[in-house]
């Protein structure tokens, strides 16, 4: 099977030019001007952008947590991703207490089998490193399972949080094994105290989700993780940076030349703390962690992605139903499942409000959404760019298409959309995964089970 994508504006992290792309089998075979080649399928991309398939480094599909499971499984979550131009994501495989990493990975592989419509890898989320056996197994994960990133939670004291000893040991293991350490950076102990005080004072509504997790506690944990990683000699990636307090220590560490990277997520540019005050419990839709911050942080984050203080934009897609899941916390904000949907709209939102509004360049958008996540997480150059030999993961993007984002038309099972009613100009029209058209307009053409698990390479710090 061969495909010729003709006459589009090819955009990578570095370049922008009009060219034809010839795909043979699953890979890009040739890029050139006016290619005189026969192909099984010819796609006219004149007037369109031709982008690398986007890579989302932070998602939670079919994740059980505190008795609820995120509403998007691999099929619905990856379908939403595909329509949004994301062809690869790295999902979190959560180790249960007392569980081996191999057991956890087997369970997560089971979740995607027969359902996957795009490619994905796994990060391992460590909750238990109590034995030497487990620590040794952690060091073998890159070699044995193609899992080259370790995530640790510094918050959620009742479930996922690890102490500093565990965090530090995981960092030492990563320094040995060549993995990248990822942290959810918030001070879980202090948050626990503030949450108990709020409830004791009768403060039960969604806004207290933000007020009990102040930005300083994200900043403190970010700095703590940075210092610990530096001592351990491990590279560190701080997930979902939401505020100035957390961006600042990352900027400082990078100025010093330390191996520190960070991401923010689409929603932090658009949703601020006041959304939690929406009437009729609607604030619960915006209960994710870290919480939406005061609006001034939005400019801080745009500047951070523009100036390379932060290197990636993910979605932290962690979808729950507003009616039927989020409402478990109607009388106690602590019981609202933490998370929001977002996998489908990242490219549309960042293209419109980032590129069209002049905050970042088209190249930088590709870098933040495709190339850097691929480089940081061992997928490059197979994923994250358009180059001869790369997987033919391609988005034909119509920069003038008008779309009104809505839960009525999105592909997630979530019964709401974080950006409901937002009008954007620019949207994916055709999406290819390894040479096969998986989305054509409003049609999903991928068969469940056709997405592949990707073994990832070890972290290469020189690449970003």
Interface with Zn ion includes 316 (CB under 5 A)? yes
Classified as helix, coil or strand, 147 is coil
Tokens of 198: 């709020």
Instruction: Give me the residue label for tokens 């592949």.
Output: 452
Q: Which stretch binds Zn ion (CB under 5 A): 308-316, 342-350, 400-408, 449-457?
A: 308-316
Q: Which is nearer to Zn ion, 65 or 258 (CB)?
A: 65
Site for Zn ion in 374-433 (CB under 5 A): none
Mark 195-224 with x for binding to Zn ion (rule: CB under 5 A) and - for no binding. Answer: ------------------------------
Q: Which is nearer to Zn ion, 316 or 391 (CB)?
A: 316
Q: Tell me the closest approach of the beta carbon of residue 199 to Zn ion, in angstroms.
A: 24
Query: Binding-site residue total for Zn ion (CB under 5 A)?
Result: 1
Classified as helix, coil or strand, 366 is helix
Tokens of 319: 């979808």
Q: Tell me the closest approach of the beta carbon of residue 57 to Zn ion, in angstroms.
A: 10
Q: Tell me the closest approach of the beta carbon of residue 112 to Zn ion, in angstroms.
A: 18
Neighbours of 462 (CB within 10 A): 5
Q: Tell me the closest approach of the beta carbon of residue 316 to Zn ion, in angstroms.
A: 4
User: By beta-carbon distance, which residue lies closest to Zn ion?
Assistant: 316
Q: Tell me the closest approach of the beta carbon of residue 387 to Zn ion, in angstroms.
A: 30
Q: Which stretch binds Zn ion (CB under 5 A): 301-309, 314-322, 326-334, 352-360?
A: 314-322
Q: Which is nearer to Zn ion, 341 or 435 (CB)?
A: 341
As a whole number of angstroms, the distance between CA 367 and CA 371 comes to 5
Q: Which stretch binds Zn ion (CB under 5 A): 1-9, 200-208, 311-319, 361-369?
A: 311-319
Neighbours of 136 (CB within 10 A): 10
As a whole number of angstroms, the distance between CA 425 and CA 312 comes to 22
Q: Tell me the closest approach of the beta carbon of residue 34 to Zn ion, in angstroms.
A: 45
Q: Which is nearer to Zn ion, 53 or 339 (CB)?
A: 339
Q: Which stretch binds Zn ion (CB under 5 A): 26-34, 212-220, 315-323, 398-406?
A: 315-323
β strands within 268-388, DSSP E? 312-314
As a whole number of angstroms, the distance between CA 461 and CA 180 comes to 9
Q: Which is nearer to Zn ion, 70 or 79 (CB)?
A: 70
Nearest residue to 21 (alpha-carbon basis) of 395, 444, 371: 395
Interface with Zn ion includes 72 (CB under 5 A)? no
Query: CA distances (Å), 260 to each of 67, 222, 300, in order?
Result: 34, 11, 18
Q: Which helix (H) or strand (E) holds 210?
A: helix 207-211
As a whole number of angstroms, the distance between CA 186 and CA 216 comes to 9
Q: Which is nearer to Zn ion, 310 or 355 (CB)?
A: 310
Q: Tell me the closest approach of the beta carbon of residue 35 to Zn ion, in angstroms.
A: 42
Q: Which stretch binds Zn ion (CB under 5 A): 121-129, 304-312, 313-321, 415-423?
A: 313-321
Q: Tell me the closest approach of the beta carbon of residue 23 to Zn ion, in angstroms.
A: 33
Q: Tell me the closest approach of the beta carbon of residue 268 to Zn ion, in angstroms.
A: 13
Query: CA distances (Å), 286 to each of 7, 261, 419, in order?
Result: 41, 26, 11
Q: Are strands 68-69 and 64-65 parallel, antiparallel or unpaired?
A: antiparallel
Q: Which is nearer to Zn ion, 75 or 316 (CB)?
A: 316
List of residues 6+ apart from 56 with CB closer than 8 A: 81, 86, 88, 89, 90, 314, 315, 317, 343, 346, 373
Query: CA distances (Å), 180 to each of 26, 68, 235, 265, 456, in order?
Result: 28, 29, 6, 19, 11
As a whole number of angstroms, the distance between CA 406 and CA 422 comes to 8
Tokens of 348: 């549309």
Q: Which is nearer to Zn ion, 298 or 314 (CB)?
A: 314
Q: Which is nearer to Zn ion, 47 or 96 (CB)?
A: 96
Residues in the site for Zn ion, rule: CB under 5 A?
Answer: 316
């Amino acid at each position: 099977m061969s495909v010729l994508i003709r006459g589009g504006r090819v955009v990578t992290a570095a370049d922008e030019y009009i060219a034809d792309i010839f795909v043979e089998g699953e890979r890009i075979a040739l890029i050139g001007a006016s290619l005189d080649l026969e192909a099984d399928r010819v796609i006219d991309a004149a007037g369109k952008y031709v982008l690398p398939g986007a890579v989302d480094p932070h998602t939670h599909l079919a994740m059980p947590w505190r008795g609820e499971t995120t509403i998007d499984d691999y099929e619905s979550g990856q379908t939403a991703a595909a329509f949004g131009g994301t062809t690869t994501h790295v999902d979190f495989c959560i180790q249960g207490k007392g569980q081996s990493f191999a057991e956890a990975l087997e369970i997560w592989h089971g979740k995607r089998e027969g359902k996957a419509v795009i490619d994905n890898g796994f990060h391992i989320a460590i909750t238990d490193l109590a034995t030497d056996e487990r620590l040794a197994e952690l060091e073998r994960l890159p070699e044995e399972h193609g899992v080259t990133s370790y995530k640790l939670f510094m918050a959620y004291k009742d479930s996922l949080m690890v102490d500093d000893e565990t965090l530090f040991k995981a960092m030492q293991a990563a320094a040995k094994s060549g993995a990248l350490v990822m942290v959810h950076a918030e001070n879980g102990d202090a948050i626990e105290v503030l949450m108990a005080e709020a409830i004791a004072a009768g403060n039960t509504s969604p806004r207290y989700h933000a007020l009990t997790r102040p930005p300083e506690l994200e900043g403190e944990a970010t700095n703590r993780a940075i210092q610990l990683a530096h001592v351990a000699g491990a590279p560190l990636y701080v997930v979902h940076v939401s505020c100035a307090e957390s961006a600042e220590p990352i900027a400082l560490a990078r100025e010093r030349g330390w191996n520190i990277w960070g991401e923010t997520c689409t929603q932090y540019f658009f949703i601020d703390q006041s959304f939690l005050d929406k009437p009729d419990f609607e604030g619960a839709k915006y209960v994710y962690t870290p919480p939406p911050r005061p609006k001034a942080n939005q400019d801080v984050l745009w500047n951070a992605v523009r100036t390379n203080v932060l290197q990636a934009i993910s979605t932290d897609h962690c979808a729950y139903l507003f009616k039927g899941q989020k409402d478990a916390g109607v009388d106690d904000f602590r019981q609202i499942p933490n998370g929001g949907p977002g996998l489908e709209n990242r490219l549309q939102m960042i293209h419109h409000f980032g590129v069209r509004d002049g905050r970042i360049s088209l190249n930088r958008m590709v870098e933040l959404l495709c190339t850097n996540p691929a480089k940081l997480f061992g997928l490059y150059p197979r994923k994250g760019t358009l180059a001869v030999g790369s997987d033919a993961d391609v988005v034909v993007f119509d920069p003038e298409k008008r779309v009104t984002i809505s839960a009525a038309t999105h592909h997630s099972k979530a019964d709401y959309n974080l950006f409901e009613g937002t009008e954007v100009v620019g949207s994916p029209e055709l999406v290819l995964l390894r040479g096969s058209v998986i989305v054509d307009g409003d049609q999903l053409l991928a068969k469940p089970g056709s997405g592949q698990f990707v073994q990832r390479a070890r972290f290469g710090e020189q690449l970003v």
